[in-house]
Structure 1
């Protein structure tokens, strides 16, 4: 009986190792938090950037915005980051996008954070975050932001693969944002939108970002959830095995 229980424990532990290993691999990706937002809204988006290299540091992070017309984000500003220089690259559209009656000719194409101080870097086995605040978010189901990590040894780690039917789980997926319709099924109305585009968009966006609490991702991360499950399973197996051994010991004592 004890031998059978031991085999079961070994099998379950192997399964747990696979779960946790998969979670660690996923945690090594550049991911976007929160992973979902409301269509038509302004929101803060934070990119979690882990460095999975053993001998080099991440010294530059570049985030590329969606460029399909239906996926454009008309305006965005970057959150300041101590020790990092920020460059916002904008492009002029062939035709303007209309937001609450205002023509928008220029949109953000990419934002780059470059370390300028000696300690401003993401070292091996470390992670950091970069954030943007923008909107209004497009009325589509999902958009992708391609991300690139520039390493101190010259290597560039690209997170720019878009899932497809032929490759639903690419090795280097681009950070994704799921967009849901606002309650009522119509585009969210915000006084910020019209006012923002009527004047200096960057200034008003910055003010809005400072006065609006950042959206928090209340759901546990994949890694934390997997580790919690692993701990609970391991604890349960330990209790079960101990109880089995006690029952086996009592049975042998009674037989004697």
Structure 2
């Protein structure tokens, strides 16, 4: 029987460690980044109406989301705000007196919606799930490039996550960024963004009816990479054990 050379023996002893490190590295890279409460789609046309969705992921492993509060921008009030019914959730629109009345369709409006609250009414967002809350808004301002919404996400264990931190250009994204709707120049009659938003709302409505949303492609990729990492680690350990037995023999 031929003896294994010293370099080969050292390589065999290191293989389990290499396999374990590879598995850990793959799992680390595969870990999905935390999702945020966001506005979908991310942009709408200035001066028009749009249907937007607040996408709310559940980030806790042992608690469910049961409430979402979205504060509308006070510096650019929206005269028309209508939530689309979401099965298992109750929506409430809070209005506030305006310091300066705004004009809409030839009429002066002295109050406007300031907050939308969705409260679980038989529904919830469980671990590993997300929910979309459609909202029709307008008339969108023409003198700004974005609208910032502040959101509070409440879990059934009483935890409250405050998505209220403004993002600054050139700086790293804050830990709890506020949802932002980008505003772009109108391409026609100002209703193009609304049509795109309506398509998004239809998709959200289908997901709402089922009670759960489908996982993002990134989540699927993460799971696949994680499985590969675990397999690499197992193969490395097994190879090391077999090699050890051969040396003993």
TM-score normalised by structure 1 residue count:
0.64
Residue 77 of structure 2 corresponds to which residue in structure 1?
Answer: 72
Q: Specify whether residues 169 and 77 from structure 1 end up closer, same or farther in structure 2 by C-alpha distance, changes over 3 A only.
A: same
Residue 34 of structure 1 corresponds to which residue in structure 2?
Answer: 41
Instruction: Pick the aligned partner of 2:134 from 88, 106, 131.
Output: 131
Please list, as runs of the form range in 1=range in 2, the aligned pairs for 1:36-185 lying within 5 A after superposition: 36-68=43-75, 71-117=76-122, 120-139=123-142, 140-165=144-169, 167-183=171-187
Q: How far off is 1:164 after superposition?
A: 2.2
Question: Which consecutive unaligned segments of at least 5 residues does structure 1 have?
Answer: 1-6, 191-208, 232-256
For the 8 Å contact 2:37–2:57, the answer to whether it is kept is yes
Question: Which consecutive unaligned segments of at least 5 residues does structure 2 have?
Answer: 1-17, 204-215, 225-249
Local SS of the residue matching 1:215: helix
Q: Specify whether residues 213 and 170 from structure 1 end up closer, same or farther in structure 2 by C-alpha distance, changes over 3 A only.
A: closer
Q: Specify whether residues 55 and 15 from structure 1 end up closer, same or farther in structure 2 by C-alpha distance, changes over 3 A only.
A: closer
Q: How far off is 1:215 after superposition?
A: 3.5
How many residue pairs get aligned? The number is: 196
Q: How far off is 1:55 after superposition?
A: 1.4
Measure the CA separation in 2 of the matches of 1:229 and 1:82: 30
Instruction: Pick the aligned partner of 1:215 from 193, 199, 206.
Output: 199
Measure the CA separation in 1 of the matches of 2:27 and 2:146: 31
Measure the CA separation in 1 of the matches of 2:146 and 2:197: 23
Local SS of the residue matching 1:91: strand
For the 8 Å contact 2:46–2:190, the answer to whether it is kept is no
Local SS of the residue matching 2:47: coil
TM-score normalised by structure 2 residue count:
0.65
Higher relative contact order by CA 8 Å / sep ≥ 6: 1 or 2?
A: 2
For the 8 Å contact 1:43–1:215, the answer to whether it is kept is no
